[in-house]
Chain A
Amino acid sequence: MSATTKTPTVPEGRTASQASAVTRLLGDRRLPVLVTAALFLAMYITGLSRYQNYGFAEPQVFLNLFIDNGYLLVAAVGATFVILSGGIDLSVGSLIGFTTMFTAWLVERQGLPLLLVIPLALAVGAFGGFLMGYVIHNFEIQPFIVTLAGLFLFRGLCLVISKESISISDSTVSSMAQTRVSLGLGELSIGAIVALVVLAAAFYILHYTRFGRRVYAVGGNEQSALLMGLPLGGTKIAVYTMSGFCSALAGLLFMLYIQSGDPLHAVGMELDAIAAVVIGGTLLTGGSGYVLGTLFGVLVLGLIKSIIQFEGTLSSWWTKIATGVLLCAFILIQRAMTARKQT
């Protein structure tokens, strides 16, 4: 196993060219993203061949992936930032649930206009993320525990608002939820478009701004980042604030998608988000990964769901099992990659 690992950067000689090509491929950070993209394509083509007569080939089936998973994409983008910085955020699902509940309550019970509620909900989410980031950085408590407390807190606050679900009949919400933007081949909902905009913004921030480089640096090696003079605390807090903001935005999209607030909405969504990030090839130790990979991760998870729907005979719990198996496979791929890099 370790015979080929010593020469990752050796210029290829005649004999070693085969081996070094393999090492280079395994050492390439883009490999997991490519694997995920290939997996997505393979799954899509399988779906095409199996369910051709059931309308799987319609472009709308593909676009529905974005419509049905837009909120997950936004949450996963937030989680990507946190995981790239070497942390973890378990409060995503609760914060999504809380946002649906909070907005539904403000719009329906308090009669506030939606335009006022949206910035308010986003601010609450971002502030929640900020607080968690502040505690994680300033008191050096593990992110796992702090965001776990966040999970309890936001889920609890949902229940404090109301034990029953609140359905939203506000006309602005329903008209926004039903708006479809035509793309020629098919149509997208507002939620899907927002998700794509968030993805583009995250891509820009991560790869073309100073902050993006800091996130990678902090995730790669916190100590080195500190010694380089990077603002460690600021970066970490900003990352959790961003994750809180993304979760709140995901909550708004989820609210649009489902048009109600429920204290049990999005239970366990953090696992889906983390799974999408991992399947998208981001290293859970931080410092390596791409936000585009997260897109493919979300699409793969979404495709599993729609294939199970098309199959008809499979039950919903196969989604969980398939997600777990994929998660396992990708973690092992990551492990193989990092093992080669270290030796």
Chain B
Amino acid sequence: MLTLADHILDIAENSVRAGAKLIQIFIEEDSINDLLTLEITDDGHGMAKDVLQKALDPFYTTKTVRRVGLGLPLLRDAAERSGGVFQVNSEENCGTTVKATFGLRHLDRQPLGAIINIIIILIISNSDIDFFYKHRHNDRQFEMDTREIRKEIEDVPINHPEIIKYIRGAMEEGLQDIEPEA
């Protein structure tokens, strides 16, 4: 994993597999406290307490095709490498929240990467799931909510090329306005 965007895509794919209907991605850059917070919340089927405890073990996975599960441990390592902390909260049948903090200016913090591309990939390949993206940089904030877009476009599929072009344009513009440091 080279960028934080890679991690976000990876964690969001977990949410997709957990049958989520809404995935919220929240990024907050706080220059004053030198902190970058990444939070991914879903309303999927969640994990029971004993599974949650094992989820951070690289040799635990719910899949049967291989014996390792590296997604969460890799994110935890990336957060801790830059002086941050990592936390997973989950409740069975309610959903899961993955939260990681990073040292914003820490040398070992991975760059944010192509965040717009991964949001587009998530929307295109999971057109039945809603995504809410919020990016805050100190006092400036950008939001993108596919539920609002869906309301406007009615029967046009959200993964229609014209709609995707709109989302990409809106995100590029919005992110330009908040000037992310990451």
Q: Do A and B associate with each other?
A: no
Q: Which residues in A have some Cβ–Cβ distance to B below 8 Å? A: none
State the B residues within 8 Å of A (CB): none
